[in-house]
Amino acid sequence: MANKVVIFPSSKQVEAQAYKAACDAHFAATFEPGGQFAYIRNDAFGQWVVPYYGHPWNMDGVTPFNPPAEIEALRVDGVLHDFAVWPEEE
Amino acid sequence: MLNLSLGLSLGSLATQRRGGWSPLDLGSKLIAWWDASHGVTLSGNQVTAWTDRKSGHSLTQATSSARPTWSATSFNGAPGLTFDGSDDELTGTGAGLLAALPSGSSPSELWGVVQQDAPGSDAGVRHLGGYGGVGALDRRILTRSQSPGPVSTGGLQFGDGSANRVAGMPDSASLQSRHVMRGVYLSTGGTYHQDGSIGNTVAATPATTASRLRIGGSTQAVANLLWQGKVRDYMVTLPLTSDEAAKLLAFLLPRRAL
């Protein structure tokens, strides 16, 4: 599923978790009961990565999805990127 | 509330076919066959599960943003799963699947009918899929990497317990577009094949741990080295005879949809 990512500074774990939780809650309420939209992972630099709940992600590959303003507000501490740089192999 | 969880099942697990040779005719030599035309469960256009045709082993992805997408025509007009190269992957950890996978130095083969979309300028190694444990030293996997040109080339990797072993095609054999990838893993080493041409061999003894099978990324606990492109078929077999391999190749080559 093509999606962008929101990258939060390493010092903003709480904010990243709050954004993820809001995305998951809206996704579960709107699209998939009990479902989960996002993960939260560290990138190669120790920053917190959460998939962006918005374009180009959508549910059916056709219908544009506009994220609610209250969820958009929760990613103010993060930066929108096209991709993440994941850690090297274990 | 809009519920787009369709739970669409595309075909049965039964060995229904119209006639002619099928990979299911490999019998006990076939461990699992994930076919984009069968056993795909969708939520919207997102793949939540992909169930193999042989024994019903399921690969799943619970997180929406990390699911590949499915289309009836994405593989050049044929059904295919699209992996975004960012975070999409499907993982199987079922006890039945893991018990069926040859581990340690026991031989096996991995086959894939794929479309590789990462550009030649992409310096990253990307994993189509395989099975293993925690990292590079205990897995078997099919890969895409960058060779001089730069071009994307196919290959295999496996761990022997102390090092990651690599074998691929000559640099001139591009993996761009659609191909049949085959990795042969024996107790004496691994050999990579592409579209029926034999590539390089690396001599070593696999030391494989079967903790998970994954399509779309590495086998470590959190996937990385993610596949960018499409998958129509992915298969695990026991070592095939020349005749069996020729029949399987003849079946899969047209599925490249060139």
The pLDDT tens digits of the residues spanning B72-108 come to 999 999 999 999 999 999 999 999 999 999 999 999 9
Percent of chain B with pLDDT over 90: 85
Instruction: Tell me how close the Cα of B169 comes to any Cα of chain A, in angstroms.
Output: 23
CA distance B179 to B163: 28
Q: Does A10 touch chain B (CB under 8 A)?
A: no
Buried b (16+ CB within 10 A) or exposed e, B33-63: bbbbbbbbbbbbbbbbbbbbbbeebbbbbeb
Per-residue pLDDT averaged across A10-28, rounded?
Answer: 98
Per-residue pLDDT averaged across A56-76, rounded?
Answer: 95
The predicted-structure confidence for B164-183, as pLDDT tens digits, reads as follows 999 998 767 899 999 999 99
pLDDT band at residue A90 using 50, 70 and 90 as cut-offs: low
Residue B14: predicted pLDDT: 40
Nearest residue in chain B measured CA to CA from A63? B44
The predicted-structure confidence for B18-57, as pLDDT tens digits, reads as follows 579 999 999 999 999 999 999 999 999 999 999 999 999 9
Instruction: Tell me how close the Cα of A29 comes to any Cα of chain B, in angstroms.
Output: 7
Residue B177: predicted pLDDT: 94
Question: Which residues make Cβ contacts (< 8 Å) with residue A35, sequence separation at least 6?
Answer: A24, A27, A28, B5, B43, B62, B64
**Which residues of chain B have a CB within 8 Å of the CB of A84?**
86-87
Q: Which pTM value belongs to this model?
A: 0.93
Instruction: Tell me how close the Cα of A42 comes to any Cα of chain B, in angstroms.
Output: 10
Beta strands in A1-90 (DSSP E): 5-8, 41-42, 48-51, 79-81
Q: Does A45 touch chain B (CB under 8 A)?
A: no
Asked if pLDDT for residue B2 goes beyond 60, the answer is no
Q: Which of A5, A29, A61 sits opposite B69 (nearest CB)?
A: A61
**Which residues of chain B have a CB within 8 Å of the CB of A27?**
64
Taking the alpha carbons of B207, B209, B214, B216 in that order, is the dihedral positive or negative? negative
Percent of chain B with pLDDT over 70: 92
Residue B18: predicted pLDDT: 58
